[in-house]
């Protein structure tokens, strides 16, 4: 009986630890989620197709802080799973950013916004951005960076500046930038575009 009580208390306390301490709701280029046709890019319910960048990206600068990208059931905005992105704190020899990415060949023609739900269970704020690599030349198109405080947020980023090149999106990069050095994690769910 004591084990059952301990197990139940552990589950309740573990779930409480993942609840947002502070919520700022919608952040990014708009203060509301725009209406339109929604296409889900990844809801993380059917597996993990994401990779984290680490020492293997040193050709692009210092080592990245990203250490894993895996499907987790610890938090989800929709369904039962999300992408858990882990990072380590920076050192004098490392960069101050992490990268989590997925390669595919998408046609985002007509998309006006990219939207994702982000949960920050840590006590510190960090900066998050999305960068798309487009066309056969893999041109880098970085969208607005947002400050992600502890809690759960929906990030809305405008795609209009790159409308001409959205017919061939080769890679989606979720870019983490350290505001305060920390070992930690954040969660991403319900990555979608709105036309």
**pLDDT above 50: residue 4:** no
pLDDT for the residue numbered 14:
42
pLDDT at residue 6 in the model: 41
pLDDT of the residue at 93: 81
Residues 6+ apart with CB under 8 A from 107: 166, 167, 168, 169
Mean per-residue pLDDT for 94-109?
A: 94
pLDDT single digits (tens) 37-87? 999 999 999 989 999 997 666 667 777 899 999 999 999 999 999 999 999
- Sequence spans of domains, the chain: 22-194
Residue 142 clears pLDDT 80, i.e. is over it: yes
Mean pLDDT, residues 85-112 taken together = 94
Calculate mean pLDDT across residues 82-107: 94
Whether residue 2 is predicted with pLDDT greater than 90 in this model: the reply is: no
Q: What is the CATH topology of the domain spanning 22-194?
A: Jelly Rolls (2.60.120)
For 180-195, write each residue's pLDDT tens digit. 999 999 999 999 999 9
Residue 24 has pLDDT above 90, yes or no: no
pLDDT band at residue 92 under the 50/70/90 scheme: confident
Q: What predicted TM-score, i.e. pTM, was given to this entire model?
A: 0.85
Q: Judge whether residue 28 has pLDDT over 70.
A: yes
pLDDT at residue 20 tops 70: no
């Amino acid at each position: 009986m004591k084990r059952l009580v301990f197990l139940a208390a552990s589950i309740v306390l573990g779930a409480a630890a993942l609840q947002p301490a502070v919520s700022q709701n919608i952040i990014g280029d708009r203060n509301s989620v725009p209406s339109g046709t929604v296409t889900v890019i990844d809801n993380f319910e059917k597996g993990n197709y994401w990779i984290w960048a680490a020492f293997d990206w040193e050709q692009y600068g210092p080592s990245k802080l990203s250490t894993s990208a895996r499907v987790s059931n610890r938090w989800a905005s929709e369904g039962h799973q999300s992408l858990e992105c882990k990072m380590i704190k920076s050192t004098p020899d490392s960069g101050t950013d992490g990268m989590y990415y997925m390669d595919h060949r998408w046609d985002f023609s007509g998309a006006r916004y990219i939207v994702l739900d982000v949960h920050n269970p840590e006590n510190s704020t960090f900066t998050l951005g999305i960068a798309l690599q487009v066309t056969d030349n893999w041109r880098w198109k970085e969208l607005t960076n947002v400050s992600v405080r502890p809690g759960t947020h929906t990030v809305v980023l405008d795609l209009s500046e790159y409308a001409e090149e959205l017919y061939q999106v080769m890679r989606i990069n979720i870019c983490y930038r350290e505001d305060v050095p920390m070992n930690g994690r954040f969660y991403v769910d319900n990555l979608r575009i709105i036309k």
